[in-house]
Amino acid sequence: MLNRYLSNISKRFFKRSIMAKTMNKEYIRTKDSNDKVMNDSNIEEPRIVKDEIEEDDVDITKLRTPIKDLSAVYNFLGARTTQAWVDAAIANVPMIIQDHANCEKKAAGTAMNLIFRYEFSYDLQRKLAQLIREEMLHYEQVLGIMNDRGQAWKYLSAGRYAKGMLKHKRTYEPAAMVDVLIIGAFIEARSCERFAALAEVIDDERLAKYYRYLLKSESRHFEDYLALAQSLSEDDIDERVAFFKEVEAELISSPDHELRFHSGTPA
């Protein structure tokens, strides 16, 4: 009983201190090439409806070249996907599609957990609500692709990737929240980089088109997570970003016995 009382007090104290910080905040720093000023009056409206329309209207020949400028994503990541992973993925497209479906569902689930855990920030709630809708739309779209290909759902265990980063998450607040948001930024950025790599070479027009369509939303998710991490942190997050950059690059570059959407170099 006493433990629960003390825990509630500490939760309330944490929420109040973050709330005060959030309300006093004048800008969200983004880790783009330039710092970008954002406030409640110019938060972008959800673009999900527009994105959905664009997928249907898109001209595949125009999508083939040039690919979206991903320099911000490439600069953020500490390593590029190896040709060996791309080759293995192309040789196992159904498995990659299945794991992609898992990833979309997990992305929505993780964001939903954050929405319940950190209810004090308007920016966080709004961005995550938008992100959940988009991830669930992607999940629905991947399910549709599987259905059209006659691909049955198959259980796939989780790879080492997310666990390999989450084990370094700090255990106290608000550091734990900031770390989860930074990890989210890396997962989104890596997804974006891998969709681009696959779209370049995959011998399936529908998947190539779909992976290009995803680049826009996944690169925005990466920027949103990073901006939230900085805006909700009392300290500069550069050091934590640099730390997770190394951890993530190692997970992507080192030998991995399991092939997954976010796996390392095939062993």
* Residue matched to tokens 């920027």: 223
Span near Fe ion by CB under 5 A; candidates 20-28, 103-111, 118-126, 228-236:
103-111
CB atoms within 10 A of CB 265: 16
How far is residue 267's CA from residue 263's CA, in Å, rounded to a whole number?
10
Span near Fe ion by CB under 5 A; candidates 60-68, 183-191, 195-203, 252-260:
183-191
How many residues interact with Fe ion (rule CB under 5 A)? 7
CB of 263 to Fe ion, least distance (A): 18
Span near Fe ion by CB under 5 A; candidates 40-48, 57-65, 132-140, 143-151:
132-140
Q: Is 187 helix (H, G, I), strand (E, B) or coil?
A: helix
How far is residue 82's CA from residue 256's CA, in Å, rounded to a whole number?
12
Contact map string, positions 185 to 224, toward Fe ion, x by CB under 5 A? ---x-----------------------------x--x---
CB of 133 to Fe ion, least distance (A): 11
Of 19 and 136, CB closest to Fe ion: 136
Interface with Fe ion, residue 135, by CB under 5 A: yes
The residues in 41-70 that bind Fe ion, with binding defined as CB under 5 A, are none
CB of 193 to Fe ion, least distance (A): 13
Of 85 and 225, CB closest to Fe ion: 225
CB atoms within 10 A of CB 75: 12
Span near Fe ion by CB under 5 A; candidates 7-15, 24-32, 131-139, 151-159:
131-139
The packing angle between helices 83-91 and 175-201, to 10°, is: 70
CB of 214 to Fe ion, least distance (A): 6
Interface with Fe ion, residue 99, by CB under 5 A: no
Q: Which of 105, 115, 131 is nearest to 44 (CA)?
A: 131
Could you tell me the two tokens for 257? 């016995």
Contact residue for Fe ion among 31, 100, 127, 138 (CB under 5 A): 138
CB atoms within 10 A of CB 119: 11
Contact 230, 160 (CB under 8 A): no
CB of 107 to Fe ion, least distance (A): 5
How far is residue 162's CA from residue 198's CA, in Å, rounded to a whole number?
21
Residue 47, Ramachandran bin (φ over 0: left; ψ between -120 and 50: alpha; else beta) = alpha
Contact 75, 204 (CB under 8 A): no
Of 202 and 215, CB closest to Fe ion: 215
Footprint on this chain of Fe ion (rule: CB under 5 A): 104, 107, 135, 138, 188, 218, 221
